């Protein structure tokens, strides 16, 4: 397992940025002194077939979704210095979950642009033929100057047509669409739901359908007895923005936005951008 000061090919690892799940991410520099984020697998055993496949699939999807702006930059991936690694653009920033928890002004003062950029990043992924399947504030980085990057493509899959039941049920239950929790066929509109949950949370600092487990989340999604509209919690939300969020949170996927481009268009209109 890599340690600070160790070399992976041309990269020197300096500081552990994040560790969790199946990988850790290091701040590294190359021989020219340029900074990168290097992701390595925690489980290097011969039998870590599932982890290696997910790691490689995520890296390949990231490479396919590059836009030079809203998606974290891809540099290379594969065996580097004997380790399976993914080298990415290094962005000095925090994820939206941490910024939300700290009530950080870089988020609160730029919330309109953050919501637009977040949806636009998702539009890039869908436009390249993939659904992300792990859309949530934790997977969005924001720099001090308000520049946004969507990260973590490990769960991404090609968009099926027609919708298809997933072999496994990846993701974070609080952000999963009802059809996914019910193990019914899904497509990119599961991401649109997850963006709606994320937007609601970023605007109100509460989840729309809180629950201790997937079954409780699903029950709240379906019966809506305890659902509170965003403007009841934050009257400063423009009505047009609330309408966009509520359409993303339609439990019937056919009533949500059919395409992310339509969501982005109405979001910009509602925010006068």
Tens of pLDDT, residue by residue over 188-245, are 999 999 999 999 999 999 999 999 999 999 999 999 999 999 999 999 999 999 999 9
Looking at the DSSP bridge assignments, the partners of residue 141 are: 95, 149
For the chain, the distance separating the N- and C-terminal CA atoms, rounded to the nearest angstrom, is 47
Find the catalytic residue in 117, 134, 152, 191.
134
Residue 16 and residue 142 share a domain = no
Residue 262 and residue 142 share a domain = yes
Q: Tell me, what's the pLDDT at 40? A: 94
Q: What is the pLDDT of residues 44-74, one digit of tens each?
A: 776 778 888 999 999 999 999 999 999 999 9
Of 89, 114, 129, which residue constitutes the final position of a domain? 89
What's the domain count of the chain?
2
Q: Which residues contact 202 (CB under 8 A, 6 or more apart)?
A: 96, 100, 107, 111, 114, 115, 137
| Percent of the chain residues past pLDDT 70, beyond the cut | 98
Residue 119 and residue 65 share a domain = no
Of the ranges 159-173, 179-193, 220-234, 246-260, which one carries the lowest mean pLDDT score?
Answer: 159-173
How confident is the prediction for the chain on average, in pLDDT?
94
- Confidence tier at 169 by pLDDT (50, 70, 90): confident
Of 89, 114, 146, which residue constitutes the final position of a domain? 89
Tell me the CATH number at 84.
3.30.200.20
Domain that holds residue 38: 7-89
Of 68, 89, 110, which residue constitutes the final position of a domain? 89
Catalytic-residue membership of 134: yes
Is the residue at 71 inside a domain?
yes
pTM above 0.75, yes or no: yes
Residue 109 and residue 53 share a domain = no
Residue 164 and residue 63 share a domain = no
Residue 97 and residue 85 share a domain = no
State the DSSP code for 54.
Answer: H
């Amino acid at each position: 397992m890599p340690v600070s000061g160790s070399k992976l090919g041309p990269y020197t690892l300096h500081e552990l940025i994040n560790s969790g799940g199946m990988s850790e991410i290091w701040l590294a520099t190359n021989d020219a002194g340029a900074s990168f984020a290097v992701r390595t697998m925690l489980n290097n055993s011969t039998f870590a077939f599932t982890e290696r496949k997910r790691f490689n699939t995520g890296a390949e999807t990231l490479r396919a979704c590059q836009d030079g702006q809203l998606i974290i930059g891809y540099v290379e991936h594969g065996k580097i210095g004997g380790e399976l690694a993914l080298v990415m653009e290094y962005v000095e920033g925090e994820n939206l979950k941490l910024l939300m928890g700290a009530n950080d002004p870089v988020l609160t003062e730029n919330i309109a642009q953050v919501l637009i950029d977040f949806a636009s990043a998702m539009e890039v992924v869908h436009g390249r033929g993939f659904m992300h399947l792990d859309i949530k504030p934790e997977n969005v980085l924001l720099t001090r100057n308000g520049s946004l990057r969507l990260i973590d493509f490990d769960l991404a899959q090609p968009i099926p047509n027609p919708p298809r039941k997933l072999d496994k049920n990846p993701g974070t239950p609080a952000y999963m669409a009802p059809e996914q929790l019910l193990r019914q066929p899904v497509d990119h509109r599961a991401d649109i739901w997850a963006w709606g949950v994320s937007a609601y949370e970023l605007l109100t600092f509460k989840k729309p359908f809180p629950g201790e487990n997937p079954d409780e989340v699903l029950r709240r999604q379906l019966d809506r007895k305890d659902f509170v509209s965003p403007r009841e919690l934050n009257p400063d939300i423009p009505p047009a923005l609330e309408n966009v969020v509520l359409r993303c949170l339609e439990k019937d996927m056919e009533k949500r936005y059919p395409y992310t481009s339509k969501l982005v268009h109405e979001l910009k209109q509602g925010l006068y951008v």
